[in-house]
Amino acid sequence: MYYFLVFSMRTGAMSVPIAHILRTYGVHGGERQLAQFFSAEDPKLYDNTFFSLYRNRACDRLFETIPSLRLKTILPIEAPIFPSLRNEMLLLIVLLPILQVRLFYLLATGRYRVCVVHGVQAAAACWLAACFLSKIRFVYVHRGTKSEAGSHPIFKVLYRPYDVMAGVSVATAHSLKPLAKSGRRVITIENGINWQKLVDAASRCEGRKPDEVTTLISSARLLKHKAQAFLLETLAVVLKERGNVRLVIAGDGPERENLMQQSRRLGITGCVQFIGHVPNVSCWIVNSDIFVHASEVEGMSNAVLEAMALGLPSVVVDAPGVTECHIDGETGFVVNRSPEAMATRIATLIDDADLRRRMGIRARERIKEHYSIAANLERYHALYSQLLAAH
C-alpha cells in the first residue's frame, strides 16, 4: 500500500484526503498559521478539509481564499468566544454529545485517511471517532504548553485513542509526554510561516517618517498570560533613562481597559499606543525598531516568528514556546522576568543601531533555516507517510 501511495503521489493519480479539526477563535496566531499551511499545500498530494467546531465568519473569510481547501462546520451555530476558560468548558460540556456524534458521522462517511486534531476542545469532540474509526489515523496537535491544570490525569483518557501526539514546539511536546500512553509517540511539529510572502507584503508598506523616537512593538491578544502589563512596567523603567521611546501594542482582548488604566497609573500614557487588532500588523512591525514579547507561556508564538522574519531584533522574556525560537545574543536577547533586566537589554539595542541591524539579519536567517512554512509542510508530510505506511 505504501509504495502504491508514493507512486500515486508522484504521478498525480490520487491525493490523500486529510481532515483538520479546530475550535476557531477568530483570526489569530493558530488560525493564520494553518491558513499559511493550507495555502502552501500541494492539492495533488493531499486533499485537505478544514472542520471548524462552530461557525466563525472571520475564519470563513480567511479560509475561503484558499481554492484547494474544503470547509465544513460541525455545528452551524455561532458560539461566543469567552474570555473565561471555565465558560468555554461549560459550553463544550453542554454541546459535546452533539459534536461527537456529528463529527463521527462526517468522518465515517468521508474517505479520510488521516485526521489532525488541533487543541483540547477538538480532541474532546473527536474522541468518539478516534476510538472507533480504525481506518483513520488520528493525530493530536497541542498548540499551547500544558499547565498544571492541563496535566490532570483525565487528559490521559482524552488522548488515549490518538495514534500520535504532537506539540508545535519542543516545549509543548515535552509538556505532553507525561500524558502519553506507554509506547505512544510524542513528536514535535514546529510551526512555520510563509516568510517570503510576509517580506514581500511588508515591502509595499509606506515607510515611517524619520524621527528621533525609538519604537518598541508588541503583537499579541490582550490576555493576562500574554503579559502586556509587564511590558508597561518595563517601559516605565526604560523611560527613566531614555526619553524618546514609545511602545506600540497591537492586538485586542479583554485586558485592554486594564492595560490602559495601568499606563495612566504609571504616567506613561503619552508613550503608549494601543492600535487594536489590525489586518496587516507587518507594516507596523517593519516601521518599528525593536520587538518585545513577555508572554508567560506559548505553544509557539507566530508573532515572535513574524517579527524575526521581518528582520526586527527582539527582547523576549524567557518562557516555554518563546525562548527556543531565538539564539540569545544573536537573533535577540532572552531575559529573566524582570522589568529591569528587560529594560537593560532594550537600552543596549536603542544605543547600538549596528547591533539592531545584525540581530535582525540573523533573525531572518533563522526563520529561513528552521521555521519556514516549507519546513512545517515537510514535517507533516513525513508524519503522514509514516502513518499511512504502518496502517
What does the buried/exposed string (b/e) look like for 23-42 if buried means 16 or more CB atoms within 10 Å of the residue's CB?
bbbebbbbbbbbbbbbbbbe
Which residue did the predictor score with more confidence, 4 or 357?
357
pLDDT in tens, 73-114: 999 999 887 777 788 889 999 999 999 999 999 999 999 999
C-beta separation of 297 from 324 below 8 A: no
User: What CA–CA distance (Å, rounded) separates 388 from 108?
Assistant: 17
User: What CA–CA distance (Å, rounded) separates 233 from 218?
Assistant: 14
pLDDT in tens, 115-151: 999 999 999 999 999 999 999 999 999 987 776 666 6
2-192+372-390 and 195-370: same fold? yes
C-beta separation of 56 from 24 below 8 A: yes
C-beta separation of 66 from 35 below 8 A: yes
Q: Residue 11 pLDDT more than 60?
A: no
pLDDT in tens, 40-57: 999 999 999 999 999 999
Query: Residue 233's pLDDT is what?
Result: 98
C-alpha cell at 358: 545584525
User: What CA–CA distance (Å, rounded) separates 171 from 169?
Assistant: 5
Helix, strand, or coil here: 152?
coil
Helix (H) or strand (E) holding 228: helix 228-241
pTM: 0.85
Helix, strand, or coil here: 164?
strand
User: What CA–CA distance (Å, rounded) separates 110 from 272?
Assistant: 51
Q: What is the mean pLDDT of residues 178-186?
A: 81
Q: How many CB atoms lie within 10 A of CB 82?
A: 14
Supply the CATH classification number for the domain 195-370.
3.40.50.2000
Query: Residue 391's pLDDT is what?
Result: 67
What does the buried/exposed string (b/e) look like for 293-302 if buried means 16 or more CB atoms within 10 Å of the residue's CB?
bbbbbbbbbb
Which residue did the predictor score with more confidence, 211 or 206?
206
- Looking at domain 2-192+372-390, its CATH class is alpha beta
Q: Residue 9 pLDDT more than 80?
A: no
Q: Residue 7 pLDDT more than 60?
A: no
Q: How much of the chain exceeds pLDDT 70, in percent?
A: 94
pLDDT in tens, 238-270: 999 988 999 999 999 899 999 999 999 999 999
Pairing between β-strand 245-250 and β-strand 272-276 as defined by DSSP bridges? parallel
pLDDT bin (cut points 50, 70, 90) of residue 10 is very low
Q: Domain extents for the chain?
A: 2-192+372-390, 195-370
Instruction: Kindly report which listed range (91-100, 178-187, 349-358) carries the lowest average pLDDT score.
Output: 178-187
